[in-house]
Structure 1
């Protein structure tokens, strides 16, 4: 019932279209039911009169029938066109709701779910839901109306014959319900298997350069073949069940005609039925069987749509772990004073990443986090904009707990340049202006100059309008990194997080960018994650973190004098440079 109520909610904005669709469906059903009755009346009335009277009256009858079928034409047009429009609009609303909800879900959801599966829910699942939204109520309404109407009219013609047909129909219903249960399970399995196929395609194509660089096309082909065959097996099983379902119901439909023919002959023989009644009865059997066919097809459509909608609702029921409090305030007039107080963090509440970490950063200062991979540096920085929430302790900005302020205002005041740079499929301008969507052209150019990328952009064929390709495939790693830095220049936040921001740059570019970043960092609180220790010599404080927590802290000179972990890391890099220079 919950699934049904959720589904009905999407009809509310389109009530007029829905009710008009039902009115048209009712009109069509009444017209279809009327024709055999009109024929019955003519055979017992007008057609029993003289030739002159028949010729005189048949023109009026024909004209009336033409008007009736013109009305039916209009109703059929509305159902086919505007009925589908209604379904398409509902599908669009569902897709928007699903996409918006996916945007609200935290990083932890994406850590556990595959992009290909999410794409399957956004596209293929919702198409079947759209078809169900349009045809479902209409087919159900028309079919029930025709079955009840034709059954009532059949009872008026011959009660005993109709009761015999009812017995055959009930056996048909029991058979359909039994087969329907099998279809429900197989269509849900179909959804899961096609999601696996989409997942495999997305994963392989996204990493196509890695695939080709390792010459592993055959391996990827085998992995895809496995998922593809699983989906094929699921489809084949489904088609076999559908085959017995449709064939069985067609057998029972044929049995209805046999019943009419055999028992009609018996009733005519004993004088309880007239030959003309049997002819009209046969016409109504056609009207009675047609909605049964529709209901049989509807069952398949319903199971596909239900399976898709259930997966859709399952995602919508996934509550975002990170949301604004009801009384959340806006973070304004940010100075940039940051404090991590006894912060602990566990992935999935089991895997410990940080344990009782306490760090205070004064407004406008630059703090660098260094240490081996897996020590929790990036995780610590991810707690500041609330990509994840702390398990214990608190993170504050200017004394305000980040959980007490709105996410939009919090993240608007934090600029991030990540190690893994993402470029959107669009122009250079689009990617820079992502930092400030309504920025003027002059602001975009200034940001590009600050990031030392303007001259390169102007050397491109279309300048700032040059298409960068999917994920920025037409740019080098250093160029993408500088565009990402330009985004942050444009955003101009009070707090900066630089996660290996210069890692993809050559030495010359690094010097230019480092100077720009130092300029940008003035009067702003900056957290730098760096493995290239040459980029953090001027940091106000350097904190050394490994899997056992904070090990050392101080400025560059102090830590070198301590001759501890930092000195070890620094000397390793310095010795490496010396070896290269020999």
Structure 2
């Protein structure tokens, strides 16, 4: 604020006043010392204002960046607290766009608008005061067209706000398309089906739409500024004419007229910038609306106010008549009721969409039950803190995700303070240690984006080592050995048997051969448990499990080759 108060009047009112003194006093009197002093003032003034301007820019940028940091962090923290339901309904590119482009757009407006609005306001007020002191009629003449400019500003404001929102949404579509088609998985899929041309056509259409919207948004502001420019150029012409008449009539000095015209040349660009502020504010409001759509979303899975810390558990699990649904009209789980004793291996089997993964994900509170209760050691998982709950649970999913970091960092992700010995011990138990030593940099080898430097089985074993190092009391295995070859799978079954000793394991099984030794097998169908028992018991029942077990992969006639000429 102090910087602005110094910089604004110093750079606007001093030069006209010095010019007035030169014309009215120094030149007519031939006062060389005064002329030299005034010339020195004009030379030193830009240096002083320049230094103040640099300091002001630094403060503006620092403040704007700090505000954006807190806004970006707030949105990120809020998104981290959202449940899986949110991420299954949102595009990754859309989320990234709001965290980057939208926040950067707000930053650009704030870094300029806040300081420039205050600075321009001070400049305009001080300039107006000096102009009135020089000549009231000419000053009032200069202000005659201001209402017209205000009217134009109000008319264009709504259009700019709508165009800004449309631009950001289309930009989010472009980023989503890039994120989906330029990652390794997307590229492999596109190339496998020969869809490069089709995806290029789709991207070209979306990108062209973005160009059209951005051009329209830009031209709205440009036409508005052009109309202002035309009006502003009319005022100096009138001031020259009527001011010249007053100079000829002796009612104002030539120096005062020159000073007033100089002030006028600064006043109207400043007024034009102030009238353009609503355009920037409207654009910023559109971006804020998009950001607050996320910030206003309720956190579905949150710690209760009286939530307790879940201490060390034995691993007793109980599902009490659990009901759950993703959509109101479609129940996903109905009357799911079972108990897992500490140290037991319980397997969930059934057709795709039966609710196996959903059931397992209710345990770590990735979702909350609609009815019923999920308990660990007699405590409702909703009554304990999420952090302490997740410390007791280790999860290995079928789709392994590794960060673009070293193997050591990926294994130690859940336990960052692990020693090298602990990391290697976990890798040995996961049957991946020897393979890691064969890599160029051993445990310091960077695995690449999503771990694509490793094979599927190697990624799976690194993920298992990651859970082994965490050493949880409860395990959730989503067909954790599905990506392993026969020899490695046999070794892994031995390692997992040792890992499961004294721990409770909930295994989602797609291949029944991996859960023959389970203490209990729960057969799910359409969100219900339809059969339960050991492998032998279920075979004797001759029900759905026996049918799954006896079935072989059916032989099917190959589908005819399909070709869409219009897509090529």
TM-score, reference length from structure 1: 0.91
Query: Residues of 2 paired with 1:499 and 1:442: CA distance?
Result: 28
Query: Residues of 2 paired with 1:160 and 1:311: CA distance?
Result: 48
Match in the other structure for 2:49: 72
Q: Deviations over 1:251-303 (max 9, x none)?
A: 11112222212333454566644443322221011110231243355444434
Out of 55-64 and 504-513, give the one that drifted further: 55-64
- Does residue 136 (structure 1) correspond to residue 116 (structure 2)? The answer is no
| Structure 1 alignment gaps of length 5 or more | 1-21, 577-582
Match in the other structure for 2:560: none
2:24–2:254: 8 Å Cα contact kept in structure 1? no
Query: Residues of 2 paired with 1:575 and 1:235: CA distance?
Result: 54
Query: Residues of 2 paired with 1:392 and 1:537: CA distance?
Result: 32
Which residue among 370, 373, 376 is the counterpart of 1:394? 373
Which residue among 404, 423, 430 is the counterpart of 1:451? 430
Match in the other structure for 1:19: none
Query: Residues of 1 paired with 2:247 and 2:34: CA distance?
Result: 31
1:128–1:301: 8 Å Cα contact kept in structure 2? no
Query: Residues of 2 paired with 1:336 and 1:473: CA distance?
Result: 35
2:26–2:32: 8 Å Cα contact kept in structure 1? no
Match in the other structure for 1:375: 354
1:433–1:439: 8 Å Cα contact kept in structure 2? yes
- Does residue 179 (structure 1) correspond to residue 156 (structure 2)? The answer is yes
SS at match of 1:542: strand
Query: Residues of 2 paired with 1:574 and 1:150: CA distance?
Result: 86
1:187–1:238: 8 Å Cα contact kept in structure 2? yes
Q: Deviations over 1:214-271 (max 9, x none)?
A: 1111121122122212212211221231221121111111122222123334545666
Match in the other structure for 1:89: 66
Change over 3 Å in CA distance of 1:542–1:341 after alignment to 2: same
- Does residue 33 (structure 1) correspond to residue 33 (structure 2)? The answer is no
Match in the other structure for 1:146: 123
Q: Deviations over 1:446-482 (max 9, x none)?
A: 1111111111111111111111110111111111111
Match in the other structure for 1:302: 281
Superposition pairs of residues 275-286 of structure 1, within 5 angstroms: 275-286=254-265
SS at match of 1:340: strand
Cα drift, residue 319 of structure 1: 2.3
Query: Residues of 2 paired with 1:133 and 1:317: CA distance?
Result: 22
Match in the other structure for 1:355: 334
- Does residue 160 (structure 1) correspond to residue 137 (structure 2)? The answer is yes
Match in the other structure for 2:238: 259
Match in the other structure for 1:124: 101
TM-score, reference length from structure 2: 0.93
Match in the other structure for 1:467: 446
Query: Residues of 2 paired with 1:573 and 1:494: CA distance?
Result: 36
Cα drift, residue 43 of structure 1: 3.3
- Does residue 43 (structure 1) correspond to residue 23 (structure 2)? The answer is yes
Which residue among 80, 83, 89 is the counterpart of 1:112? 89
Query: Residues of 2 paired with 1:497 and 1:260: CA distance?
Result: 82
CA RMSD of superposed structures (Å): 1.9
Which residue among 305, 310, 323 is the counterpart of 1:326? 305
Superposition pairs of residues 163-562 of structure 1, within 5 angstroms: 163-206=140-183, 207-268=186-247, 272-296=251-275, 298-547=277-526, 549-562=528-541
Out of 144-153 and 294-303, give the one that drifted further: 294-303
Out of 294-303 and 533-542, give the one that drifted further: 294-303
SS at match of 1:243: helix
Query: Residues of 2 paired with 1:266 and 1:240: CA distance?
Result: 40
Query: Residues of 2 paired with 1:136 and 1:574: CA distance?
Result: 66
